Homo-oligomer: A and B are copies of this chain.
Amino acid sequence: MSTKQTVNIAVVGATGAVGGKIVKLLEDKNLPVDTLKLLSSKRSAGKTLSFKGQSVTVEEATPESFEGIDIALFSAGGSISKELAPEAVKRGAVVVDNTSAFRMDENVPLVVPEVNPEDIQKHNGIIANPNCSTIQMVVALKPILDKYGLGRVIVSTYQAVSGAGANAVIELEEQSKQYLNKQEMEANLLPVKGDKKHYPIAFNALPQIDVFQENGYTFEEMKMINETKKIMHLPELPVAATCVRLPFFTSHAESVYIEVEKEGVTVQDIQAELAGFDGIELQDDPSNQVYPTPLSAANKEEVFVGRIRKDLDNDKGFHLWIVSDNLLKGAAWNTVQIAQALIRNNWL
């Protein structure tokens, strides 16, 4: 791209929950959009979305859709990305991909702008957006890493159903009504669409997000482990994850144990680093019952951190409670932040 002042942007999966939030953020954050092209499957084509007061008709995504596009934001599932992202790149677009299709590809930067913005410019046409549960954790860990070093990470997650898509949201609503009306709950989707068994999520907890791998970990757990190492450029960092789906709609929460490398670090030291870091809001005042929750973090862009405690046995150990809106910072907002950086730095 030359140094022109505006860009042509395509959003693939525009009718989905994340796609819709991307379109809204492109408008709210006032990105210098010349043409906005909204793309979807054939099934959703023809719908309209509003953008800057104009009605934009959603078109079926084809390889030719990307002619003239500078930035293509993909959020329509891994198979669509695998098929169409190379076509977009071939036509000169830079792709920001919100699926797991390219995240562990060593030619593809995996980026959280607060953590590794310098990796954006290393792209070869595709930049991957990390998994939602990974993003919020690495934002919170980055200022601690920079100041005190990181020796290990153990995370247990508390994840919202919207991470499994709009139909999972409907399933939680329907099952909740069924349970409260003393009817049997119908489970057709969670924990994983397409897996063999389905269990109710309403008034329950499911220790399975995404499919199981050979090693007994779920794919979600392995995403958190591998993506954290890649984003933070710490391939040897010990990271462990247990991922659990819970009956709330928005925001993931995480109980995270870390060990820093320096000795004698205090809770106040950690709080000070987090409070001064772009993208984090510290909510940590136990005496006034101040801590983040999924409901309090919903519809906000920040990563919220509270319940910071020093481990009672390990001087280098700390416990944190990290909460963020999984559809915003965990998906749409991180994607739009990458697009902003591409434009602002002329890295297209």
Contacts and interface: CB of A to CB of B under 8 A. Distances in A.
Contact of A238 (B288, B295, B313, B321): B313
A230 interface: no
Contacts of A48: none
Contacts of A216: 267, 286, 307-310
A195 B319 contact: no
A240 B316 CA distance: 13
A207 interface: yes
A200 to B, nearest CB: 6
A337 B317 CA distance: 37
B204 A240 contact: no
B197 A289 contact: yes
Nearest to A198: B289
B287 A212 contact: yes
Given A205-B293, A205-B294, A294-B204, A312 B240 contact: yes
Contact-residue bracket for chain A: 35 or more
Chain multiplicity (copies): 2
A239 B314 CA distance: 10
Contacts of A299: none
A293 B246 CA distance: 11
A18 interface: no
Contacts of A272: none
Interface string A165-203: 000000001001100100000000001000111011001
Contacts of A197: 288-289
Given A255-B242, A257-B240, A306 B207 contact: yes
Interface of A: 152, 154, 156, 158, 173, 176-177, 180, 191, 195-197, 199-200, 203-208, 212, 215-217, 225, 238-240, 242, 244, 246-249, 253, 255, 257, 267, 286-289, 291, 293-296, 306-314, 317, 319, 321
